[in-house]
Homo-oligomer: A and B are copies of this chain.
Amino acid sequence: MTKILLAFFLLLSLSLQATDTLSSWNEGKNKTNIINYVQSVTDKNSSDFIPMKDRIAVFDNDGTLWSEQPVYFQFFFAIDRIKALASTHPEWKNTQPFKAVLEGDMKTVIASGKEGLLKLIMATHTGMSDEEFDAIVIDWIKTAKHPTKKVLYSELVFQPMLELLDYMRANGFKTFIVSGGGIDFMRPWASEVYGIPSNQIIGSKIEVKYEDKNIVRIPKVRFIDDKEGKPVGIHYHIGKRPVAAFGNSDGDFAMMEYTEANKKYKTLQLYVHHTDEEREWAYDRKSHIGSLNKGLDYGNEHNWTMVDMKKDWKIIYPFELKNKKEGSK
């Protein structure tokens, strides 16, 4: 009797699992690619089997796990901080690019270029301890809303990618974020939202020093985790070549090429192609952010998994799932 019951529950759990796998993904070549890859490398009897310790999966963040338009969300954070700090910085009224930010003149802000952007980042991201900065970021992510989508930024993560993260982990993969965004901007909230521990989140770094029992953030760039910087960040933080890489832009190309060149194991490369103007945004070769040009050609030629957001994803954001359920009541 007990054995029969056990078998019953086992079957039930297996069938639930099958139904739940990547449920926000439409059936088709790309979903099949992912599942075939995971099944083959986790099958002990397959020549493609990868031991668990080497199942390293790396995910870009901006544009891959959440949206990134009209500008990187970290830039909105900097803008909001400039506004919040303006009363203690009267000089900003007459100093660019701060003046432009306070006047909402985004054209001038953007025209200030890299140098201007760096000034805004340093004024808002440094000069405090790491723990004070964490608290500022957490407060922002819990309250600030996207200008056109009118929801919290953390609600603009991609439901199909959350399912993919879960699916990889359920199959013994260790999931890492490898982002051009700030490592300390992501860690306070991304752990919870993506289920990835802070020590598996890699990003660009500003300089810090140890002072009076605290880590203090100082206004200098230490490391840019983008393009050729991504394999370097992976080397230092992970210490081994990944087997699966997920990105959306040419900034991820080096990381994906580095993964593809893994001589020991079968690999998976997946690009999220932003093709959905209606539900998200549509952009690729000529976008001012997250441009996908070289990677689009190379990925197609090399049989990478090229996700067509419009075609492949049933829903984009988790709140659609909630809305759907409520609508069907």
Asked whether B187 lies within 8 Å of A208 as measured between CB atoms, the reply is no
Is residue A198 contacting chain B, with contact meaning CB distance below 8 A?
A: yes
Is residue A239 contacting chain B, with contact meaning CB distance below 8 A?
A: yes
Contacts of A228 in B (CB 8 A): 209-210
Asked whether A232 lies within 8 Å of B209 as measured between CB atoms, the reply is yes
A104 vs chain B, min Cβ distance (A)? 34
Is residue A302 contacting chain B, with contact meaning CB distance below 8 A?
A: no
Asked whether A236 lies within 8 Å of B53 as measured between CB atoms, the reply is no
Known: A213-B258, A239-B184. A200 touches B199 (CB 8 A): yes
Known: A210-B232, A213-B258. A238 touches B131 (CB 8 A): no
Asked whether B208 lies within 8 Å of A235 as measured between CB atoms, the reply is yes
Indicate which residue in B199, B232, B254, B257 contacts A199 across the interface (CB closer than 8 Å).
B199
Is residue A118 contacting chain B, with contact meaning CB distance below 8 A?
A: no
Is residue A237 contacting chain B, with contact meaning CB distance below 8 A?
A: yes
Contacts of A187 in B (CB 8 A): 239
Contacts of A213 in B (CB 8 A): 257-258, 261
How many of chain A's residues have a CB under 8 angstroms from any CB in B? Answer: 37
Contacts of A176 in B (CB 8 A): 199
Contacts of A236 in B (CB 8 A): 183, 205, 208
Asked whether A237 lies within 8 Å of B191 as measured between CB atoms, the reply is no
What are 26 A-B residue pairs whose CB atoms fall within 8 Å in the complex?
A2-B2, A53-B191, A53-B197, A174-B199, A183-B239, A187-B239, A198-B238, A198-B240, A199-B199, A199-B237, A201-B239, A205-B236, A208-B235, A208-B236, A209-B228, A210-B228, A210-B229, A210-B231, A210-B254, A210-B258, A213-B257, A213-B258, A213-B261, A215-B232, A215-B235, A237-B237
The chain A residues found within 8 Å of chain B, CB to CB, are 2, 53, 130-131, 174, 176, 183-184, 187, 191, 197-201, 205, 208-210, 213-215, 228-229, 231-232, 235-241, 254, 257-258, 261
